[in-house]
Amino acid sequence: MTTTDLRTSVADAELWARVRDGDGDAYAQLYRRHSDAVLTHCFRRTAAWDSAEDATSMVFLETWRLRKRVLVADSGSLLPWLLGVANNVIHRHRRSRARHRRALDRLHHLTERAGEPDHADFVAQRLADEGRMRLVREALGHLSRTEQEAFTLCVWAELSYAEAAVAMNVPIGTVRSRLSRARARLRAHITDADLGFPSPDAKEHPHA
């Protein structure tokens, strides 16, 4: 099923009715459906895979904890809510990046001693992704936080204005104006092609 199919499906709303009653199996289905999109969004906001992975885990833990208050968008998709939670998680945990990197380094040394296969090519690709993403993040740094959110939700996550309004908890008109300002300011610092990077395939990721 494609991302578009998932967004227009009524299945999210049906599954979420079960989740609100504590159905873990229904929640697992929703996790499998949207975790790749959340991971991609978190990577684009943090420019670091380890931080994105941690944030994605926190998003789904928070969503389960807050399941009685979660709203499914008019489109029938849970994704706008999840990306809104992701933005909040990222704001709270930006300073934890170094701690998680140290933990991954320790894990890497342990697996080396245990004779695990070398994943140098995969690690090199991750570092290259992060380096390029940091350049994009520098350009986004010229925007306000709310403009960054509007851009990443509407352009990168491809949410509609209505879905982004759910994620940001603001009127649709506010989303439009923030996105318009964001695009105008970004053009002075980076090309449209660079802003499209990256589109990582989470299925190739070992934790997906």
Q: What is the pLDDT of residue 108?
A: 59
pLDDT over 70 at 149, yes or no: yes
d(CA 175, CA 38): 20
Q: How far apart are the first and last CA of the chain?
A: 17
Average pLDDT on 162-167 reads 90
Q: What is the pLDDT of residue 208?
A: 33
| Chain CA centroid to CA 27, Å | 18
Q: How confident is the model at residue 4 (pLDDT cuts 50, 70, 90)?
A: very low
Q: Which residue has the tokens 């909040």?
A: 88
More confident residue, 103 or 14: 14
The helix/strand count (H/E) of the chain reads as: 11, 0
Q: What percent of the chain has pLDDT over 70?
A: 65
Q: Which residue has the tokens 């986004």?
A: 140
d(CA 192, CA 67): 37
Give per-residue pLDDT as tens, 92-140.
776 555 555 566 666 655 555 545 455 555 555 555 556 667 767 777 8
CB atoms within 10 A of CB 200: 20
Could you tell me the residue range of the domain that residue 42 belongs to? 3-204
How many distinct structural domains can be found in the chain? 1
Q: For residue 96, give the nearest of 125, 135, 57, 38 by alpha carbon.
A: 57
Q: Is the pTM of this model over 0.85?
A: no
